[in-house]
Amino acid sequence: MAVELRTSQALKLLHDLALDQVRDSEPDLTQRQLAILLTVYLEVPPHTVRGLAAKLGVTKPVITRALDTMGKLGLVTRRRDETDRRNVIIQRTVRGSLFVERLGDLVAARARELPV
Amino acid sequence: MAVELRTSQALKLLHDLALDQVRDSEPDLTQRQLAILLTVYLEVPPHTVRGLAAKLGVTKPVITRALDTMGKLGLVTRRRDETDRRNVIIQRTVRGSLFVERLGDLVAARARELPV
DNA sequence: AGAGAATAATACGCGGGCGTAACGATCCCG
DNA sequence: CGGGATCGTTACGCCCGCGTATTATTCTCT
C-alpha cells in the first residue's frame, strides 16, 4: 500500500523539516548538493561526474564543486577509475552514511508526528 | 492514525524531490526562505520580521533579505502595521498561495509513488 | 515634551555557488 | 603512433546570502 499523505500534511512536513534544518544550522547543503549526495547513497554504483551531471541535468563543474564541498565535509570521496583513468568514481563514506541515515530518520520521525 | 514512513522511504522521497527541484530549475528558494514562506502560509497571522526572526532563530536582516527576494518573486508582500508603524506585516499573495499548494501537491504525489 | 527602547532597513566586506570558457590528462582508433 | 574525442578540473567574473554594525522611524513612559 502506498504512502498516503494529504497536501496539508505534506506542507506541514516540509515546514517542520525546514524549521529543523534552519534552527540546527548544520552544514546546510544546497539542494543540488543534497540531490548528488542522495543519488550517490541510494542508487547503485559506480557514480561518475559525467553520470551525475547528466542525471541532474547540470554542467560538470557544478558536480565538481559540489564534490569539493561535500568532500571537505567528509560526506563523500573521490577515487580515480583505474580501468579508465579519465573517470573519477565517487564513493560513500562512513560519515556520509551516518548523515544520510540520520536525515532519513528525521524525516520519518516528523512524518509520524503529523496530525491525522 | 499517523503517517507511516520508513527511513528508506523517507530518503527516496527526499531524493525524488531534490531531483525534481534541481531539474525544474525553478526560482530555487533557500532553506531559510522556504521556512519563512511556509511559516507565513501555514501559521496564523499576523507575521512580523521580528516574530519570524525569533521563530527561526536567525537575525532580522536575514528575514528582511529573504522577504526582499521572495517579494521580487511575488510570493509575499509587506505592509506597514498601522496600529504600530514600527512593525511590518508580511502578507500572502495569490502567486504565493499557488506556489505553496503546488509544492504540497508535488510532495504528496511523490509520497504516493513510493514503493511499499 | 523628551529620553530611551524597539522595530525594520541598510551598509559593508566576506564567502561560496553559478555559467562559460579554457585546460591537461587519458583514451580510442584508423 | 598520432590526431581527435572524452573526462574532470580550473579560471574568471558575477550574483547572492551571510553576520555585524549602524541608521531612520516610531513608540513608550515619565
For B15-27, how does the pLDDT look when each residue is reduced to its tens digit (9 = 90+)? 999 999 999 877 6
Are A49 and A39 in contact by the 8 Å Cβ rule? The answer is no
- Give CA separation, B115 vs A27, A109, B5, B111, B112, in Å: 30, 19, 11, 9, 8
The protein footprint on chain C, as nucleotides within 7 A of a CB, is 6-11, 16-21, 24-28
Cis-peptide into B46, omega within 30 deg: yes
Interface check B5 vs A, CB under 8 A: yes
User: Which nt sits closest to A54, CA to C1'?
Assistant: D7
User: Angle, nearest 10°, between helix axes B31-42 and A7-24?
Assistant: 130
Cβ distance of A9 and B22 shorter than 8 Å: no
In which element (H, E) is residue A12 found? helix A7-24
Are A23 and B57 in contact by the 8 Å Cβ rule? The answer is yes
CA distance A31 to B21: 8
Length of chain A: 116
Interface check B6 vs A, CB under 8 A: yes
For residue B1, is pLDDT > 70? no
User: Which nt sits closest to B65, CA to C1'?
Assistant: D17
pLDDT in the model for residue A1: 53
Q: Which of A23-27, A50-54, A57-61, A76-80 has the lowest mean pLDDT?
A: A23-27
Shortest distance, CA A94 to any CA of chain B (angstroms): 17
Set out the domains of chain B in order of their start, with CATH numbers: 29-107 (1.10.10.10)
For residue B48, is pLDDT > 80? yes
Task: Residue B67: name the closest of B57, B55, B58, B75 by CA.
Answer: B75
For residue A26, is pLDDT > 80? no
Q: Which of B23-37, B65-79, B98-112 has the lowest mean pLDDT?
A: B23-37
Average of per-residue pLDDT across A77-102: 97
pLDDT in the model for residue A111: 96
A85 Cβ contacts chain C strand, under 7 Å: yes
First CA to last CA distance, chain A = 17
